[in-house]
Amino acid sequence: MKKKKILLAFGTRPEAIKMAPLALALEKMGDRFETRICLTAQHREMLDQVMDFFDLKPHYDLNLMKPGQNLYALTAAIITGMKPVLEDFKPDYVLVHGDTTTSMAAAVAAFYAGCKIGHVEAGLRTFNKWAPFPEEMNRSLTGKLSDVHFAPTTTSKNNLCNENIAEEQIIVTGNTVIDALNIGLDIVEKKDLSSIKLLNKKFLFDKPMILVTGHRRENHGEGFLHICAALKQIAQNEYVDIIYPVHLNPNVQKPVYDMLSGIENIHLITPQPYEAFIWLMNKASIIITDSGGVQEEAPSLGKPVLVMRDTTERPEAVEAGTVILVGTDTDTIVRETIDLLHNKDRYHKMASVHNPYGDGKACERIVQYLLDANNESNSTH
């Protein structure tokens, strides 16, 4: 039987985390699939950390990241860079993930090459073109180009149905982030990992710990100034520790290090390898973040999350009660954090919610679809 040729194209940390279990599942079935990974390397160090942890090797690496890169040049470079890859491998399916510039531009390139496109984590919407920016449009445009939509929840499936996408083109799979988390937690439990040993050496973990991450473009500027002001106020309570792995985007690094360096109970650290970050999430009392992936992982670990955004394309955890949207207003972030630290009833209600994002079998469902799918090419290319 002719093997199906599958190209996974991704480029940032969260895409890598969420595509890694799928790449591993496809690579395991070498008798049915010829699988290749193309990294755009929109991220570099933060992407390589994930590739190393999951022991994945790329077949193509466009190595595109530039310090302080802009959306125009990055988009053009991805589309242009994908051309020789697609001409060399001639995949039956190109799988892209989520809502980054890599997802959208790789989907455009795959469309130009006449390949079928599978969109993993499809159908999330805020219905606000400007938030998250540019992710809402990246995800919508990728959906428009895709032949099959792997929707994580029924809410995301319904969003796609409302855009007149045929039901048979949508598979509800759960989110592959839970597959990744299960693999990660298992390894953390079994192995004596150096990244975790380092954290154990550096911190005492003798006080309630608040874990912080943030990077959204719409929070750059004013938003980050308000967020840092809030963290500074929270840190005036000496009974808490704040650990903040700071994203490498210069628009994040500058305000965070300018405003929060030198405060005794605020610990600014480099972005953590995935295994160390999920270990830290487990150690945290509360997580304050604007990250998409962290919102999805935290309910599995029983951690309340304050999300520094006004709107979210992930309403499920808000509805379930484990996530509260606090925006970037300084007073609101401080008030909600202090309340959660003191109000035990509210804390336990938020911490004991069932994860709405899946059962850890999302990759199995995607692989099954690809096994069953017919192999006909999309076009006459």
- Site for ligand UD1, rule CB under 6 A: 12-14, 42-47, 65-69, 71, 99-101, 134-135, 215, 248-250
Residue 153 binding target from ligand UD1, ligand UDP, none, CB below 5 to 8 Å by type:
none
Q: In angstroms, how far is CA 231 from the centroid of its own chain?
A: 23
Q: Does 152 bind ligand UDP (CB under 6 A)?
A: no
Residue 272 binding target from ligand UD1, ligand UDP, none, CB below 5 to 8 Å by type:
ligand UDP
Residue 274 binding target from ligand UD1, ligand UDP, none, CB below 5 to 8 Å by type:
ligand UDP
Beta strand 93-97 with 116-120 is parallel
Residue 294 binding target from ligand UDP, ligand UD1, none, CB below 5 to 8 Å by type:
ligand UDP
Tokens of 17: 């985390």
CB neighbours of residue 76 within 10 Å: 11
Residue 299 binding target from ligand UD1, ligand UDP, none, CB below 5 to 8 Å by type:
none
- Cα–Cα distance, 132 to 127 (Å, whole number): 10
Q: Does 176 bind ligand UDP (CB under 6 A)?
A: no
Q: Which is nearer to ligand UD1, 17 or 165 (by Cβ)?
A: 17
Show contacts with ligand UDP in window 178-217 (CB under 6 A): 213, 215
Among 4, 6, 9, 13, binds ligand UDP (CB under 6 A): 13
Q: Is the peptide bond before 134 cis (omega within 30 degrees of 0)?
A: yes
Among 6, 8, 9, 17, binds ligand UDP (CB under 6 A): 17
Q: Does 274 bind ligand UDP (CB under 6 A)?
A: yes
Contact 254, 285 (CB under 8 A): no
Kindly state the smallest distance separating residue 159's Cβ from ligand UD1, in Å. Answer: 18
Kindly state the smallest distance separating residue 121's Cβ from ligand UD1, in Å. Answer: 12
Q: Please report the DSSP string for 140-186 in residue order.
A: HHHHHH-SEEEESSHHHHHHHHTTT--GGGEEE---HHHHHHHHHHH
Q: Does 291 bind ligand UDP (CB under 6 A)?
A: yes
Give the active site residues. Answer: 99, 121, 135, 215, 217, 247
Q: Scan for tokens 């405060």, then name that residue.
A: 263
Residue 17 binding target from ligand UD1, ligand UDP, none, CB below 5 to 8 Å by type:
ligand UDP
Query: Among 10-18, 137-145, 303-311, 321-329, which window interacts with ligand UDP (CB under 6 A)?
Result: 10-18
CB neighbour list of residue 119: distance below 8 Å, 6 or more residues apart: 95, 96, 97, 103, 107, 142, 143, 146, 148, 149, 150
Among 58, 223, 293, 356, binds ligand UDP (CB under 6 A): 293
| Helix residue ranges, H only, 308-375 | 315-320, 330-342, 344-351, 362-372
- Cα–Cα distance, 121 to 173 (Å, whole number): 9
CB neighbour list of residue 35: distance below 8 Å, 6 or more residues apart: 6, 7, 8, 23, 26, 27
- Cα–Cα distance, 121 to 177 (Å, whole number): 10
CB neighbour list of residue 360: distance below 8 Å, 6 or more residues apart: 174, 178, 179, 181, 182
Q: Does 299 bind ligand UDP (CB under 6 A)?
A: no
Kindly state the smallest distance separating residue 23's Cβ from ligand UDP, in Å. Answer: 15
- Cα–Cα distance, 79 to 109 (Å, whole number): 5
Q: Does 134 bind ligand UDP (CB under 6 A)?
A: no
Contacts with ligand UDP, residue ranges (CB under 6 A): 13-14, 17, 213, 215, 245, 271-272, 274, 277-278, 291-294, 297
